[in-house]
Structure 1
Amino acid sequence: MNRPDLPDRAYAAFLFDMDGTILSSIACAERVWTRWALRHGLDVAAFLPTIHGMRAIETVRSQNLAGVDAEAEAARITAEEMDDVEGIAEIAGVAAFMAALPAGRWAVVTSAPRELATRRIVAAGLPLPPLLVSADDVAQGKPAPDCFLLAASRLGVRASDCLVFEDAPAGIAAAEAAGASVLVITATHAHPLDTPHPGVGDYVKLAPRVDADGRLRLVATGA
């Protein structure tokens, strides 16, 4: 990453997706979902790209499988994911980046259930965030904007005054629908993502800056 094309404004808060944005759990998630897809006779190669950024229950429902209890299947998948955290790792530079943020000005906003999110964050060696909005907290998951609107509300700010760090199309769409700005984290992308938003590979050459009024900016460093 050379000097990135960063948003040139200050924000009230930063909101981070989890999987693919502050940590990578792709390997373990795809192991679990591959087993599920095979049990249901799905084309694994075609199915796996659809799992990222969405709640498990919505991924199951999207397959329109006859006779399948989506809630029960989602619960089973989550239980398997709780048992498989091998290979989970932080996105480069994110721990130092988050450590430099004021506690009341950021949150993690994930499509994972709270218990699974907590397990993955700990497995990645990252500290638990001051605010975690999970799949358990909203009726509609990404790409609906509910999760980002809720996180902003709990931080006491407007979603339109937040910068969302995302990696997946569903999460980007949710942030757009909430009126937030978006920075795409591309560390786990195998192919370029078609998006108008700026993107960076990781956090190694990024740092937050706190303005005198407490608002947050992104700056590029020489690291």
Structure 2
Amino acid sequence: MSVERSSIAYRAFLFDMDGTLLNSVAATERIWTRWAIRHGLDVAKFLPTIHGVRAVDTVARQNLPGVDAQAEAAQLTVEEIEDVEGVVEVPGALAFLKSLPPTQWAIVTSAPMALALRRMEAAGIPRPEVMVTAEDVSAGKPNPDCYLLAAQRLQVAPEECLVFEDAEAGIKAGEAAGMDVMVVTATHTHPVVTLHGQIADYRGLSIAVDDGLIRLSSHH
């Protein structure tokens, strides 16, 4: 665990959902594998590209003739809402969120609201006062709009936010928003090479709040 940037204090923590607060890889890959096979895609090459971005963007990127990206994404979302088997919290996430001041954290996800709430419920993750979802922005991650919107709704400056992310698109979105990023590696199968701080999960993490500023610390 490297939380060496933890001497820095923040006004808000912004969390991606899938792969960051909860692990939905099994369900996501089950559903997208079926879709990829149906459309004749190379599953092994395709699956790594789906994480952290909006379904509509993933579908559109395939440039499949005669495929309506909005309609396909809507259908995939329905399937994902129906299948939350194996969706669980990233270890320690719930306890960590409960320790945060309620008005100083948000969830910023590429999932649509209905799917996000369903997965959060399955994993036992509470709904924050501020949630930014796929419907809230016209350009999804890696575009920074979603993170900037969350900061605006929390009424904090972007540079006062720490983003918790697991996927490349989300990390880029946090960087582009001018925010510090903490990479959560819980759902990664390979070591992550990053200049950002990283944590495996939330166990052993604690916070101190002083004058509205949140400071992160780790104890082993």
Tell me, yes or no, whether TM beats 0.5: yes
CA contact (8 A) 2:50 2:58 kept: yes
- One-letter amino acid of the structure 2 residue matched with residue 173 of structure 1: K
2:193 and 2:138 map into 1 onto residues whose CA distance is 28
1:20 and 1:201 map into 2 onto residues whose CA distance is 11
Secondary structure at 1:7's aligned position in 2?
helix
Other-structure match for 1:191: 190
| Matched ranges for 1:137-176 at <5 A | 137-176=136-175
- One-letter amino acid of the structure 1 residue matched with residue 108 of structure 2: V
CA contact (8 A) 1:22 1:90 kept: yes
1:162 and 1:4 map into 2 onto residues whose CA distance is 15
TM-superposed deviation, 1:198 = 1.2
Unaligned ranges ≥5, structure 1: none
Unaligned ranges ≥5, structure 2: none
TM-superposed deviation, 1:4 = 4.1
- One-letter amino acid of the structure 1 residue matched with residue 217 of structure 2: V
TM-superposed deviation, 1:195 = 1.9
- One-letter amino acid of the structure 1 residue matched with residue 7 of structure 2: D
CA contact (8 A) 2:94 2:125 kept: yes
Secondary structure at 1:15's aligned position in 2?
strand
Other-structure match for 2:214: 216
Other-structure match for 2:51: 52
TM-superposed deviation, 1:193 = 2.3
CA offset digits 1:125-148 (Å, max 9, x no partner): 122222111001110100000000
Structure 1 position 31 matched with structure 2 position 9: no
1:80 and 1:93 map into 2 onto residues whose CA distance is 28
CA offset digits 1:130-171 (Å, max 9, x no partner): 211100111010000000000000000111110000000000
CA contact (8 A) 1:5 1:199 kept: no
Secondary structure at 1:119's aligned position in 2?
helix
Other-structure match for 1:126: 125
Percent identity between the aligned chains?
60
Other-structure match for 1:99: 98
Other-structure match for 1:43: 42
Q: TM-score, normalised by structure 2?
A: 0.97
CA offset digits 1:50-88 (Å, max 9, x no partner): 000000000011111111100010001001001000000
Secondary structure at 1:98's aligned position in 2?
helix
Other-structure match for 1:69: 68
- One-letter amino acid of the structure 1 residue matched with residue 212 of structure 2: G
CA offset digits 1:69-124 (Å, max 9, x no partner): 00010001001001000000001111111101111100000000001000000000
Q: TM-score, normalised by structure 1?
A: 0.96
CA offset digits 1:188-214 (Å, max 9, x no partner): 000122321111100001112101x11
Other-structure match for 1:85: 84
2:179 and 2:51 map into 1 onto residues whose CA distance is 20
CA offset digits 1:30-68 (Å, max 9, x no partner): 000001000100000000000000000000111111111
